Structures are given as structure tokens and as C-alpha cells.
Homo-oligomer: A and B are copies of this chain.
Amino acid sequence: MTNKPQVLSDLEIAQSSTMLPIQDIAQRAGIPEDALELYGKYKAKIDTTKLAHKKAQAKVVLVTAINPTPAGEGKSTVTVGLADALRQLEQSVIVALREPSLGPVMGIKGGATGGGYAQVLPMEDINLHFTGDLHAITSANNALAAFIDNHIHRGNELNIDPRRILWKRVLDMNDRSLRHVIIGLGGPAQGVPREDGFDITVASEIMAIFCLASDYVDLKKRLSKIVIGYTYDRQPVTVKDLAVEGALTLLLKDAFKPNLVQTIEGTPAIIHGGPFANIAHGCNSIQATNTARKLADIVVTEAGFGADLGAEKFMDIKAVQGGFEPSAVVIVATARALKMHGGVDKKELKASNPQAIAAGIDNLQKHVETIRQFGVEPVIALNRFITDTQDELDVIVGWCEDNGVKMALTNVWEQGGKGGIELAKNVLEVLHTAQNFTPLYQMNDTIENKVTTIVQKVYGGKDVVFTDVAKKQLVEIKKNGWDKLAICMAKTQYSLTDQPTLLGRPENFTITIREVIPKLGAHFLVCLTGDVMTMPGLPKEPAALRMDIDEHGNAVGLF
């Protein structure tokens, strides 16, 4: 929003836009009426069993970014704007996005529904409870936690070691006070005391499973595989052992159906699932992407954080498990963010500084190289801010020309799809050229090799070390036969390294794997590096302080 002085807020723009009835959007997307379950006038769930006969064949365009900085990149905004631009060019297109988490919405100004004239609507609903999917995931997660503690309290037939429970409770809230708690206090009638902690809902393995499952049968099967902890004799305990996979699947019954909404310009948008991009893979659900692929010719979608995290996982986890190939990749960058990668302090961003951009552009360069390693040709979206000077833009444009990288200036915040036409034309060119997508690693390789491949090829690092704790976990994982799973790296999003302050394109660094956590339902192993935040806190002045409602029940002050 920083490129618009004295203009309407995102909420004001959203509320002044005229939405089409969601039935009209469904018709535009080719969704039969009997597959539509309305949630108010402008939201609907899609019963995908009614689309079972259709073939998923649309091309997938992934929108990713350089390593994020406090300057902001506008990845969701560009994703929405690109879809609108493609529709202006008479393409059959659907945009597929993640569902926002309520916790950050209460904490920090700024939603996850795009911005300006490149938003999905109704933004206030989508940013608040939407159709309740995250609440269903919270319920399923916490039901499982209650079943575990109840099992221990009532005799502990499975011999679960309360000191070795991996399953944590979750809330869709930024609540640091719940990170480390002791539960089960108060005497024998109140459960068994033990250390526990709460994550934010989007960090739940159930969210990851929800986003990777292909249908109800797969969903239940994956849920049954979750390892909730270990017995006193170190044997894994799964959801299947507790016999509650049916109940958990039932709790996700309606949530599992993808949600249909629209952009300000009336482009169909499917918004479904939103796993963290650190502890999980950071993309919307496979259900959503593959449903969109049945309906349109082009699906525009995004992945969390920068290309080192989001795009890598999109390629190696989501595309592989979802059975599709990305056909084009957009890397979003801004002059402001490149200046920060070039060493400029946040407070100095207003001053023109082409030299800093020249210094910071190697971060962008690394991501361009990374995407090419996956066999896909990237397009750079240089997302304009009004503070950008021509000298600054010239550095980036020149670099792209010198390096043979497609690029386009975008201004979708102000102009909607019109501001993304040049980008859309570039993307269409790539889509008309055969790509050669290949995941970076084979599942059958060793864990060490898979991690090293990611570190060297994606982060540009030298090597990997595992802590003693992680080494012990590797032994356990191999013993249990869990080593042929994908790798889900949990790393700071700010740097290519595991140190958040090392911007630009560091070299010769080592990545330390602190822990390796099996997520059998998600079919991946989480490799934790550095400090990974799975329960955010609120700032001193939460965004909630500005929120209100008028007497007719309309949102006020939400972004």
C-alpha cells in the first residue's frame, strides 16, 4: 500500500467494488450449479465429486518472490493482478490462493487477499472466518490432542510416554503465552501433568495433510499415519493406533471442499488451505489447484515466502504429490526490497540508490538460477512503487536484458489487471514454449543427499551439518523406514542462509539441521534450521485496536 499516498484503504476499495453473485462467477468458471454450495451471496464451496469426470489439464503459473524484506514485495497482489490481466487478454483463467490465518490479521496491518485494485472479494470475510476451514482444522487438531491426553488419563493402554508426545494443540491466534505451557495440573481428576505447547493452526500437520490430500479416502489415510509421539519403549504411536482417523476426517468433511470467490474484476478465485511455508509447504490445497485445472486453461497460484522456500516446496512437494507440472514461474521483486538486499536500512528506502540495487540484485539472480534448475523459465515481475526512480528501474531492466531474463513492470495495485498486461504477455510466451520441469531430488535418495541438494542448488550454500539431536533422529527415521519421504525445510524466509540477517546472496555457508521431524501424513520430513516460529506473537499495537463494526454489521478499519 505504500505506493499510494492519501488514497482509499484496501477495505474501502473492496467495499466500494460491486461483486457479482457467486452463481455468476461459478458459471464463468464452468462449475455446474449442482456442484455449488453457497455461503452467503458471494462465497461458495465446490463439491468436487461433481467434477470427478473432468480432466485436470490447465497449465499452472506459479508466482514466487525474492527473499522477503520489511519493504514488501506484493506477491499476492501481483498474483491476483496477473490473473485479471490474463482474463483481459481473453484467457480462460482461475487464480488459486491460500486462506489467510486469523492470528496475523489481528496482529499486523495487512491481509493476505491482495491489495488496491488487485484483491479477492469479499476481503473482510476471507480475512476473518471465511467459510470456517481453519476452524475445522483447529477442531480436528485439538480433538486429536484431547483424545491423546484422555487415552493417557484413562489407563494408557498404548503405553504412550507423556514426555515424548509430538502432537501440539493449536489456535488460529497470535498468542505467544501459549508457546510453552504445562497442562494437566489440578490433581488426579484433571489429567496427567506434562509439558505442552500451542502452535498457530496453519502450522498443524493436519493443515499440511488437508492441502496435499487428493480425496476423502486419501485424507483419511494420511490422517491415520500421523505420528503423535512415542511409547515408553520408543515405538511410534499413530492416529490409527488411537482409532480416531474417521472422526478427524468427519470434522474436515465440509472444510475439504474448495472455496470459490472472485477478484475485483470478476475473475474466478479458488481459495483453499494455507499451511505455513516454514514448518510446512506453504501452498494452497492440491484440491484447489487441481479443481481449477479442470475448469480453466491457466491457473495462476502462489507459494509462501521467497523462491528458496515456497517455490522449492511447490516444485518438490506439491507438484510431485499433486501430479502436475508448473509451466511458468513469476518472480516478484521490488526496487525497495532489492535496495535492502543491497544493504540499505529500512529508514533510508525513500532515497534513490541505484548502486544498492546493483548490489542487491544478486538475490534475484539466485532465484532466477534456481527456477531454471527446475527446468522452467522464469519471468520477473518488477512491482512498482511511486517512490521508485527511473535510475533504479534502469538498473534492474538492464540486468534482465544482459542476462536474457524476461521481465515486466507491474502496477496492479493501482490499475488492477491493466497494470499486469505486460507481465501476462510475457507469461503467455513462456506458456507457449515447452518447459522441462524436473524435481530437484528423487525420493529414494538418502535424507542427507536430499537436504544437501536443496542447500547447494537452491540456497547456494556449501554444505549441511546435522546436530547430534538430528543425527539421532535420522537413525530412528531410517530404522522406521521413513527416509524415502520428501524434505520440508524450515528455515528463515529472510535469507538464503539459516541466519535471518544475511541478505543478498551469501556464499560458502553451512546450513545446520537442528531437528528432523517426521510428518508421515504429509509425506515429508521437516528439517528444522535456526529458530522457527510456529506460534507468532502480537505487536505492541495490534491491528485489532483499529477494527470495528458499524450498526449494520459492516467491517470498519480492517486494513
| A547: interface (CB < 8 Å) | yes
Q: How far is the CA of A39 from the CA of B254 in the complex (A)?
A: 11
Q: Which residues of A contact B (CB under 8 A)?
A: 37-41, 45, 49, 102, 106, 125, 128-129, 131-132, 135-136, 138-139, 142-143, 145-147, 149-150, 153-155, 169, 171-186, 189-192, 215-217, 220, 243-244, 246-247, 249-251, 253-257, 537-538, 540, 542, 544-553, 555-558
A102–B555 touching, CB < 8 Å = no
CB-CB under 8 A from A540, the residues of chain B are: 154-155
CB-CB under 8 A from A154, the residues of chain B are: 540
Copies of this chain, complex-wide, total: 2
A201 to chain B, nearest CB (A): 11
CB-CB under 8 A from A41, the residues of chain B are: 37-38
CB-CB under 8 A from A181, the residues of chain B are: 181-185
A173–B106 touching, CB < 8 Å = no
CB-CB under 8 A from A150, the residues of chain B are: 176-177, 537-538, 542
- In the complex, the chain B residue whose C-beta lies closest to that of A254 is B129
B132–A545 touching, CB < 8 Å = no
B139–A102 touching, CB < 8 Å = yes
Q: A216-B549, A216-B551, A249-B548 are in contact. Are A146 and B129 (CB under 8 A)?
A: no
Q: A216-B549, A544-B147, A555-B253 are in contact. Are A183 and B173 (CB under 8 A)?
A: no
A254 to chain B, nearest CB (A): 7
CB-CB under 8 A from A178, the residues of chain B are: 169, 183
CB-CB under 8 A from A256, the residues of chain B are: 553
Q: How far is the CA of A393 from the CA of B192 in the complex (A)?
A: 47
A123 to chain B, nearest CB (A): 13
List 20 A-B residue pairs with CB atoms under 8 Å apart, sorted by A's residue number. A39-B39, A106-B247, A125-B254, A129-B135, A129-B251, A129-B255, A131-B132, A135-B138, A142-B171, A150-B177, A169-B171, A180-B184, A181-B184, A217-B551, A244-B545, A247-B547, A247-B548, A249-B548, A250-B547, A253-B549
- In the complex, the chain B residue whose C-beta lies closest to that of A531 is B189
- In the complex, the chain B residue whose C-beta lies closest to that of A177 is B191
CB-CB under 8 A from A147, the residues of chain B are: 538, 542, 544
A253–B128 touching, CB < 8 Å = yes
B185–A180 touching, CB < 8 Å = yes
Q: A39-B40, A129-B135, A181-B181 are in contact. Are A547 and B246 (CB under 8 A)?
A: yes
Q: A45-B40, A128-B251, A553-B253 are in contact. Are A143 and B544 (CB under 8 A)?
A: yes
A175 to chain B, nearest CB (A): 4
Given A142-B175, A150-B177, A179-B186; 16 other pairs, CB 8 A cutoff: A38-B38, A102-B139, A128-B253, A129-B255, A131-B132, A143-B173, A146-B174, A149-B176, A149-B177, A150-B538, A177-B183, A216-B553, A244-B544, A246-B547, A247-B544, A257-B553
CB-CB under 8 A from A183, the residues of chain B are: 177-178, 181
A138 to chain B, nearest CB (A): 8
